[in-house]
Amino acid sequence: MDVSEIRRKTKQMFRNIRHARSIKDQSTSNPLSFDRTGAFIDTVDHVNPDDILFGTPECKNHQGNIVLRNIVKDLASQYDGGTRTGKIQLTERILQESKERGSRFLKQSTTDHDRWEMLSDDVARSKISKLFRNIRR
């Protein structure tokens, strides 16, 4: 890693820290979390019924997960018959529609099991694609 790359990553880390500090959270006890690259991780301590959860076997019975599974089952034939671009667009559409319904894609924190980390859109799309592949089994 050269000096310019280190500077760029350091600047990004400080931007993430400033952004995290500027966020007004509902709870003053919400600790700031960062991943190993220094990127800010938004965490929540309250799960809504429409949220889609990952990380524990019990998650599959959560209301938001059941709704997502039903959507994936309904669109499985369209996904299987689609091109790579079509599959990406379909998972993006499901992600956006889920967010419009108020769903958040969350995974259980590895450091504090009472907290949940918000997944990035890329990771959420990947999880949706995995659901499509698992439906075939």
Q: Could you tell me the pTM of the whole model? A: 0.69
Between 36 and 3, where is the model more confident?
3
pLDDT digits (tens, 9 = 90+) for 100-109: 999 999 999 8
Of 68, 71, 33, 30, the residue nearest 49 (C-alpha): 68
54-88 residue pLDDT tens? 988 889 999 999 999 999 999 999 999 999 999 99
Relative to beta strand 116-118, strand 40-41 is unpaired
Distance CA 41, CA 61 (A): 25
State residue 77's pLDDT score: 93
- The structure tokens listed for 117 are 């980390």
Amino acid type, 13? M
